[in-house]
Chains A and B, each alone.
Chain A
């Protein structure tokens, strides 16, 4: 089975949920479509959606909620 990586397009703080009290956009093992939002990156207080960019039957997050990440860091892998 092939794995594809989802990398952050931007540096900042990675969030897996739209607000602190909401459920995560995706859980490990969820299927994803290309246009699905999988998280947010906060760059200097402005929030940007991260889309999967690839489709797959199971996503596994590498970055944790509220992790500081750099552009190009791997956020998740998709099978």
Chain B
């Protein structure tokens, strides 16, 4: 490899994950951190650590000049952005390259192209990837949007062209709502993303969220099969699986091939994810967007394919060709990941930063816990609530679920609230076991099926 060191421009569990992957490849690691993260596990693991600013992310982890300066000062050969923060910021990718270093991910131009939802949809169309029926690019006013909705049928979504992560989306049930909602949505998109551009898409009811992991080195492109990520709350994934259940083999082949077609058409470099909506009834899949980074839920793919995606990203950034051929990538068994967040599921998921008093983690060959926690660690209030990810493998989905229940019973984090009880309930739920879920399932389930156990009830 032509790189010998990597700066990790992130924090939390993914910074720990990247540190370990880089060290396994013999790379020197440099960890940047905010004033609030001096005691973090990633800082402790790294060969070198550089403070890049105060706790507020905008002044530290999102501060491009400070991150680049830290990389220069420590002679980093490459920069891994993780997920979130600057991971899909094209200017950052460009700045890393302009400073003479490798960006562990695709080029700034690829990020720009695929990050613009309208441009990405055009690119998908061009590559022959099915897209959700909707407008051909941006719509300029409510009347045009209403005309498209008439053609494709209600309900429809108005989406921000520059949006992502579920933000900037409105659902329109009937023509009369367009006039009011369109202007509001445009104003919101302008405020949130600096771009008021909107487009229209048909709502696919009871759809599942299925995504395909891709890898590319600019010449060769492979997929590592798909993940099922339909269990979501407020459009944030809560639980992910690989492979997707109830997916006919023929559909799986077409789905994964379409993701590779898209990767090839843009000359993709690095790890990426092509997201789709999947309709169980018609067996149709529709392109949603491409995420040009490693995803939170990447471990389920690693558990069923044996590929270390973060190491692969680093090797590609070092100029190596893909180390795997498509025919070598096979699915072995089933994996499930539960996101353990510092939130109280019995109190409307209220966040609860604070001190981890004790930590007890299940250990077995088929269990993996990716985390930044240690006993005595103080979880700061300034960043997202993800504490760790419990990932379990089984020969079958059934075995995986039963192993997951056992692992969740043995996961014990004291001192702060966590979402572990939610996952225990989901792992035991018949609908989850039957796989009759979709992207709106969890929110309904939380209202009707999830209740605080009586013994835990607070005295009013």
Contacts and interface: CB of A to CB of B under 8 A. Distances in A.
Contacts of B56: 13, 66-68
Given A19-B191, A21-B191, A43-B353, A66 B383 contact: no
B445 interface: no
Contacts of A46: 350-351
A11 B381 contact: yes
Interface in A10-51: 10-13, 19, 21, 42-46
Contact of B353 (A44, A66, A67): A44
Contact of B54 (A43, A45, A68): A68
Interface of A: 10-13, 19, 21, 42-46, 66-68
Given A43-B381, A44-B384, A68 B353 contact: no
Most chain B CB inside 10 Å of its own CB: which residue of A43, A44, A46, A66: A44
Interface of B: 35-36, 54-56, 58-59, 191-192, 342-343, 350-351, 353, 381-385
Given A12-B381, A68-B56, A44 B36 contact: no
Nearest to B191: A19
A68 B383 contact: no
Most chain A CB inside 10 Å of its own CB: which residue of B191, B351, B384: B351
A44 B381 contact: yes
Contact of B385 (A13, A45, A67): A45
Nearest to A41: B381
A13 B63 CA distance: 16
Contacts of B342: 44
B55 A45 contact: no
Nearest to B383: A44
A51 B273 CA distance: 42
Contact of B384 (A11, A13, A45, A66): A45
Contacts of B55: 13, 68
A1 to B, nearest CB: 33
Most chain A CB inside 10 Å of its own CB: which residue of B54, B381, B384, B385: B381
Nearest to A11: B381
A3 B56 CA distance: 29
Nearest to A67: B56
Contacts of B58: 66
Given A13-B56, A68-B56, A44 B191 contact: no
Given A19-B192, A44-B353, A44-B382, 14 more contacts: A11-B353, A13-B56, A13-B382, A19-B191, A42-B382, A43-B353, A43-B381, A44-B343, A44-B381, A44-B383, A44-B384, A46-B350, A68-B36, A68-B54
